Amino acid sequence: MTTSPRTTAGSLSADAGLLYSDVEDDLRRELRALLTDRCPSADLPARVETGQAHDVGLWTALAGELGVAGLPVPMETGGAGAGWRETAVVLEELGRAAAPVPYLTSSVLATAALLAAGDDRLLPGTAAGDRIAALALPFSSPPDLPFPDTVAHAGGGLTGTVTSVAGALSADLLLVPASGDDGPGLYAVDTAAAGDTVRRTARCSLDLTRPLADVALHAAPATALVTGDEADRVLRRALITGAALLASEQLGVAQWCLSTTVAYVQERHQFARPVGSFQAVKHRLADLWALVMQARAVARHAAEALDTGTADLRLEAALAKAFVSEVVVEAAETALQLHGGIGFTWEHPVHLYLKRAKSSALALGTADRHRAALARLVDLSAAED
């Protein structure tokens, strides 16, 4: 390994703009080499048939060999001391590989909640990748979600059910929003120590590379992280961070769809000429290229906003999630169609990218939900009939 985010932390300029730094380029090269070797797209259909919640070996390599599980976590808390920009690069590459690992759910959503809560007890294990965490909310939850009330805290335990939680099946630690006598709160549940008081039931999810589960708690022992208004702030911050950075993962999916399709139409011949030489195909891919480049700028801007802590972060996150969600679906649908008959087979991985694109477009708020939030943020009234 030529470059480690643990040794290069702090070398990134505070005003790096939308371009990738040398550190980020080095990180991307190492990630792509690892994923090409251990998670080639051609192997994805066989991987998802195993029924495993995630690829344990790949997760160990990402967290242990590259140390990317704790990029935004300060060094004194066991992390790399880097930032959300580097985390966004990791998500791009994981999206490009449609990697079946809990990076978004543990290293982004749960880690963002722990950072916002100022926790220094649970972060070291999560940052090292030794402990996999999940935020116990439906994966469709948008940042402007009212504080959940499906779980109650009483007598030191949690009781209730949360549906469609991403990353729950493999989680060692659940961060559960709950209401109680002290008002709203965010609680940590150690799933091993909780035993039968926590039950997880797999859901039939569209995206086979990111399984969902219902979580039922029955007086599950829990530790309070934050309560009151602070719990609502922490939860909202985690969801905004997740929405902003999910756009980078979607960008990676869209980039794979574009580059793989361009390569395919150059090789596939019809009427004694490459399919890609037909004007209609060239125009469609040119339009898609322009959309992907725009999506890259929007996603990078959202990651930069997270690192700089701009007051417009909610606006940037809404813009990124709304725009890139539609681009990634367009890219995946184009890839499926231009691959022709082979694109509709189970053996080809393009259908898994389409499912990832569709499911991520619904995750953490739909494009319409984020556009509505964007309109409110810029004080844009809806048109009257």
Would you place residue 217 in the very low, low, confident or very high pLDDT band (cuts 50, 70, 90)? very high
Report yes or no: 210 and 166 within 8 Å, Cβ to Cβ: yes
Task: Report the largest interatomic distance among the alpha carbons of the chain, rounded to a whole angstrom.
Answer: 74
Question: b vs e for 229-265, b when ≥16 Cβ sit within 10 Å of the residue's Cβ?
Answer: ebbbebbbbbbbbbbbbbbbbbbbbbbbbbebbbebb
Distance (Å, whole) CA 102 – CA 242 = 13
- The answer to whether residue 4 scores a pLDDT higher than 90 is no
Query: Whole-angstrom Cα distance, residue 345 to residue 283?
Result: 26
Contacting residues for 249 by C-beta, under 8 A, at least 6 apart = 91, 92, 94, 95, 104, 360
In 9-150, DSSP assigns E strands to 133-135
pLDDT at residue 3 in the model: 38
User: Which tokens is 216 given?
Assistant: 């039922």
Q: What is the pLDDT of residues 140-149, one digit of tens each?
A: 999 999 999 9
| Radius of gyration in angstroms for the set of CA atoms belonging to the chain, rounded to a whole number | 21
Other beta carbons within 10 angstroms of residue 192's beta carbon come to 8
d(CA 238, CA 74): 17
Q: What is the pLDDT of residue 245?
A: 98
pLDDT at 50: 84
Average pLDDT value over all residues in the chain: 92
For the chain, the residue count is 385
pLDDT given at position 382 = 56
pLDDT tens digit string along 157-182?
Answer: 999 999 999 999 999 999 999 998 88
Q: Is 204 exposed, middle or buried (0-12, 13-18, 19+ CB in 10 A)?
A: exposed
- Per-residue pLDDT tens digits for 348-371: 999 999 999 999 999 999 999 999
Does the pLDDT of residue 384 top 70, yes or no?
Answer: no
Arithmetic mean of pLDDT, 192-220? 95
Nearest to 84 by CA among 357, 321, 312, 300: 300
> What integer is the mean pLDDT of 197-223?
95
Q: Which two three-digit tokens encode residue 179?
A: 């209401």
Angle in degrees, CA 177, 62, 322, rounded to 5: 55
**Using CA atoms, how far apart are residues 135 and 154, in angstroms rounded to an integer?**
20
What mean pLDDT comes out for the span 248-266?
96
What is residue 9's predicted lDDT score, i.e. its pLDDT? 38
Give the predicted TM-score (pTM) of the model.
0.92
Percent of the chain with pLDDT over 90: 82
Q: Output the pLDDT for position 216.
A: 98
pLDDT 10s digits, 373-382:
999 999 886 5
Res 278: pLDDT: 87
Q: Residue range 297-311: average pLDDT?
A: 93
Kindly state the average pLDDT of the residues 102-131. 96
Residue 16: per-residue pLDDT: 56
**What whole-number distance in Å separates Cα of residue 207 and Cα of residue 246?**
15
- Tell me whether strands 212-221 and 198-202 are parallel, antiparallel or unpaired: antiparallel
State the pLDDT confidence band at 270, using cuts at 50, 70 and 90.
confident
* pLDDT of 269 strictly over 90: no
Q: Model confidence over 279-301: pLDDT tens digits?
A: 899 999 999 999 999 999 999 99
Q: Is the pLDDT confidence value at 254 over 50?
A: yes
The answer to whether 164 and 146 are in contact (CB under 8 A) is: no
Contact between 371 and 322 (Cβ < 8 Å): yes
Residues 185 and 82: their CA atoms lie apart, in Å, by 29
Query: Tens of pLDDT along 7-62?
Result: 333 334 444 568 899 999 999 999 999 999 999 999 999 888 887 879 999 999 99
